[in-house]
């Protein structure tokens, strides 16, 4: 187990659930303004050690909390998230707060509007505490790529929290927010949730609006919640899901009551276990924890069935061609002209473009822009980007065939537990391979939930990834509740 000097465990009381806190506010036992003040005190105490929050929105939070208290005092019905403190990943824009995307090139940028998910949270009564640290433009698996310093894992301060939504996962793990929003392009919600021992949700592509998200890879980016338990995560998803006129890729599919669905027993469901996710490279302690989780599902009455997803071995190269190609196009807009950082060392327009982007972007972002630009260049498009899209289609079809036989698929979220800060930062390929179990669902547009599923002998959390077919989030939540219950029972 990590020593007390290297963990914030000594600061963490068992956090109350969203439902418990809301009930206290409804019944007048807790004031929303006092709850928010308590979280800000905690942030002031712990944030210097974790580097989770990049900016705080105290004035807006106080106004939101005061409105909730006024409604409660009158006895009016309160919305779903009334008074619940929530943090927002800094790639989502929020009026009145900086939106840096973890990058120097956006330092000082103040967006004039709220992302749709922020608007929905506010309408549901959430108290928005501030903006959370992340890998620059959501590019990374460790949260070491932020221009504003790395985030530390609350479980072990010498280890990474995962990325790119490391701040979002660490905030929940350290009880610096009841819930948070993150984004997932190739595993950026699921992997940090696994490393920090919290619940993270990858919604089906199109389930949640991307309006107001600073884009990385538009055909892959998704917004989803982190929470301390499955039911809270399901509640958050129910609030932010739904079609949005501002996002043409958002789906009109009806939004289920995910929280209520998560209460349903999972017995009788067919659970697929893919051989390819239990092959060479899987840490033995991670394997053992996941197998115990599968045993818990079997004991609950689920049928366990082996499935095969042979194109999994092509997932990493496919993902890093598609994602970098789209990133090179999306990040072309950051040129030092309209907003953000502009290099002072420029006497011509061309020099200003070059210097601003060179000085404003970090090494990993520049690496991905270069890879993507090459993959899209004349003479290479068909060989690289075009071929990657063909393999992506094969991966998606493979999952469709598997889901014709099973209701959900369970895998490890990551082949390894949280690694030490700096351990992989000098080896980009090793860092990319840490995403081997998450990029497949990203490419196929599937939904998934990562739920804590035990720990290593050193006390590092292990997460189980539960994948569902398109728009089958409710099924994934049902399975996740079984795994969660098994952990609570010891």
User: Among 486, 468, 485, 320, which residue's Cα sits nearest to residue 406?
Assistant: 468
Enumerate residues 6+ apart whose C-beta is below 8 A from 304: 271, 273, 294, 297, 298
- Rounded CA separation 345/439 (Å): 40
Catalytic residue check, 387 = no
Please list, residue by residue across 125-141, b when 16 or more beta carbons sit within 10 angstroms of its beta carbon and e when fewer do. Answer: bbbbbbbbbbbbbbbbb
User: Among 250, 154, 204, which residue's Cα sits nearest to residue 471?
Assistant: 204
User: What sign does the CA torsion over 93, 106, 332, 138 have?
Assistant: negative
Catalytic residue check, 89 = yes
- Rounded CA separation 60/67 (Å): 11
Catalytic position from the list 103, 141, 142, 164: 164
Catalytic position from the list 103, 141, 188, 209: 188
Q: Put the strands of the sheet holding 85-89 in their side by side order.
A: 53-56, 127-132, 85-89, 179-184, 222-227, 199-202, 447-455, 461-468, 408-412, 270-274, 303-307
- Rounded CA separation 451/441 (Å): 16
What is the maximum alpha-carbon separation in the chain?
70
Catalytic position from the list 89, 120, 131, 424: 89
Catalytic residue check, 414 = no
Residues designated catalytic: 89, 164, 188
């Amino acid at each position: 187990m990590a020593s007390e000097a290297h963990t914030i465990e000594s600061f963490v009381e068992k956090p109350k659930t969203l439902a418990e806190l809301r009930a206290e506010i409804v019944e007048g036992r807790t004031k929303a303004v006092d709850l928010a003040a308590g979280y800000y005190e905690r942030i002031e105490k712990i944030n210097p050690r974790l580097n989770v929050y990049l900016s705080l929105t105290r004035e807006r939070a106080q106004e939101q909390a005061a409105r909730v208290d006024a409604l409660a005092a009158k006895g009016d019905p309160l919305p779903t998230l009334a008074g619940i403190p929530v943090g927002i990943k800094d790639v989502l824009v929020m009026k009145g707060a900086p939106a840096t995307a973890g990058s120097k090139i956006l330092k000082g940028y103040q967006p004039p509007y709220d992302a749709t998910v922020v608007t929905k949270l506010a309408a549901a009564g959430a108290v928005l505490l501030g903006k959370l640290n992340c890998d620059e433009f959501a590019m990374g698996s460790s949260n070491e790529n932020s221009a504003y310093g790395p985030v530390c894992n609350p479980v072990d301060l010498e280890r990474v929290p995962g990325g790119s939504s490391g701040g979002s996962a660490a905030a929940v793990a350290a009880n610096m927010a009841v819930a948070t929003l993150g984004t997932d392009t190739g595993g950026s919600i699921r992997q940090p949730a696994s490393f920090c021992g919290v619940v993270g949700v990858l919604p089906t592509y199109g389930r949640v609006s991307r309006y107001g998200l600073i884009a990385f890879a538009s055909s892959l980016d998704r917004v989803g919640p982190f929470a301390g338990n499955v039911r809270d995560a399901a509640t958050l998803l129910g609030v932010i899901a739904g079609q949005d006129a501002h996002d043409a890729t958002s789906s009109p599919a009806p939004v289920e009551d995910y929280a209520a669905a998560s209460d349903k027993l999972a017995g009788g469901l067919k659970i697929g276990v893919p051989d390819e996710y239990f092959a060479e490279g899987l840490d033995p302690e991670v394997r053992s924890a996941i197998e115990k989780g599968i045993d818990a599902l079997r004991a609950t009455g689920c049928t366990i069935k082996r499935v095969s997803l042979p194109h999994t071995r092509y997932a990493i190269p496919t993902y890093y061609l598609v994602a970098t190609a789209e990133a090179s196009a999306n990040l072309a807009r950051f040129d030092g002209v309209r907003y953000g950082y502009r290099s002072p060392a420029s006497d011509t327009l061309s020099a200003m473009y070059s210097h601003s982007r060179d000085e404003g972007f970090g090494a990993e972002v520049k690496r991905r822009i270069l890879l993507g630009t090459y993959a899209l260049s004349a003479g290479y498009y068909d060989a690289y980007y075009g071929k990657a899209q063909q393999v992506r289609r094969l991966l998606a079809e493979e999952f469709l065939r598997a889901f014709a036989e099973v209701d959900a698929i369970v895998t490890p979220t990551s082949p390894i537990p949280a690694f030490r800060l700096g351990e992989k930062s000098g080896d980009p390929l090793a860092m990319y391979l840490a995403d081997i179990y998450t990029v497949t669902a990203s490419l196929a547009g599937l939904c998934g939930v990562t739920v804590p599923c035990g720990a290593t002998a050193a006390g590092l959390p292990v997460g189980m990834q539960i994948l569902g077919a398109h728009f089958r989030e409710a099924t994934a939540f049902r399975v996740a509740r079984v795994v969660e219950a098994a952990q609570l029972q010891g």
